[in-house]
Structure 1
Amino acid sequence: MTAPKIIALAGSLRKDSFNQKLINEAARFALESGAEVEVIKLADLDLPMFDEDIESQGTPPGAQLLKDKLRAADGILLSSPEYNGSITAVLKNAIDWASRTEQGALPAFRNKVTALYASSPGGLGGLRGLNHVRDILSGIGSLVLADQLAVPAIHTLIDDNGRINDPLMVDNVAGLAQQLVSVASKLNQ
């Protein structure tokens, strides 16, 4: 059986993003579970705001790169900050670019198994925004796992090396990543 290809990304541009640290940990656990994992940082893609006028001149290189990597993947680990109870603009913009059909190719999220994470220094851990992410991804054909993880008080759980230092939370983050790898492996047979 071929190792599933997993893309991991966080819906944040911030250099010290807690969601980026969380998705890095999830990616590490997916890798340890036998997956081939690539972490993508949205800040590195230089995505303009989605605009059909821009698209008509050709898909921007960062958007094309994201789309190609997602299309080649079997699964997605995604961590979304919560902004005002919803999804971040940068994540929604990335989804908008990647979900565009071109040259008859399927949109990048169609039939991709996706595990959702969120984190926040607050008490809900970004939970309210995950419903919006789930609705968007389900609506464009992603197979979003029923289980998801919102990590409250994330600033108390990450050490100086970006590792989660709480054993229970390690188990929770690892468990969802392992679930994604398992489902993606079965669908990849």
Structure 2
Amino acid sequence: MTMKILAFAGSTRSNSLNQKLLDIAALGAIESGAQVTHIHLGDYPLPFYDGDLEGKSGLPEKAAALQDLVAESDALLIASPDYNGGYSAVLKNALDWTGRPNGDGHSGLAHFANKAAAVVSASPGPLGGSRGQLAIRGVLDKLGMLVIPQSFSLGLAHEAFDKTHRLRDARADAMVRAVGAALAETVRKLKG
């Protein structure tokens, strides 16, 4: 059985701490038999969602491409940075556009419904982005996704990685990989 997971970070920064953490969580999913597709939201530039713009111009091409990727996936694995206690605007905007009706009028929300999702987060702060993670979990739930309880928040993340982007703490590495593995196992169970 093929398990397809779409993985992306809510940060478009080069050398993103959340991207590094996402890559480790994705390894856990791959080690559990999932096929992981990595995307970078910087490759999907979108205007800020505006209903008037949508009415005038329709769904942007990059939003339609994101819809296709979500539709083809069984689950989402997201690394969400914490921006002032919330999630990033680029992450929310990508989800907002992806949930809009496509060119043939079908709801974009259908692409999310009843699929699994997992969230990890990294931050230089001591809470590891847990406040932003909690907020984005609520958004994913509202989209109809089954957000698994397993998650990971990496505090003081600017000190946690070595030069090869590996976590210095072997226990933390195992815990992050376990999130990816739990997501793969959830997909396996959902697919029967």
TM-score, normalisation: structure 1: 0.94
Give the C-alpha shift of residue 81 in structure 1: 0.4
2:186 aligned partner, one-letter code = V
Residue in 2 that maps onto 1:153: 156
Give the C-alpha shift of residue 165 in structure 1: 2.5
- The separation in 2 between residues aligned to 1:41 and 1:118, in whole angstroms, is 16
1:91 aligns with 2:91: yes
Q: Which of structure 1's runs of 4+ aligned residues deviate more than 2 A?
A: 52-56, 101-106
2:76 counterpart SS class: strand
- The separation in 2 between residues aligned to 1:91 and 1:8, in whole angstroms, is 12
Residue in 1 that maps onto 2:139: 136
Residue in 1 that maps onto 2:186: 183
Residue in 1 that maps onto 2:30: 31
RMSD over aligned Cα atoms: 1.3
Unaligned 5+ runs, structure 1 = none
Q: Residues 51-90 of structure 1: matches in 2 within 5 Å?
A: 51-56=50-55, 57-90=57-90
The match for 2:128 among 100, 122, 125 is 125
1:40 aligns with 2:51: no
Identity %: 39
Query: How many equivalent residue pairs?
Result: 188
1:76 counterpart SS class: strand
CA contact (8 A) 2:82 2:129 kept: yes
Unaligned 5+ runs, structure 2 = none
1:168 aligns with 2:171: yes
CA contact (8 A) 2:59 2:100 kept: no
CA contact (8 A) 1:98 1:109 kept: no
- The separation in 1 between residues aligned to 2:62 and 2:22, in whole angstroms, is 20
1:15 aligns with 2:17: no
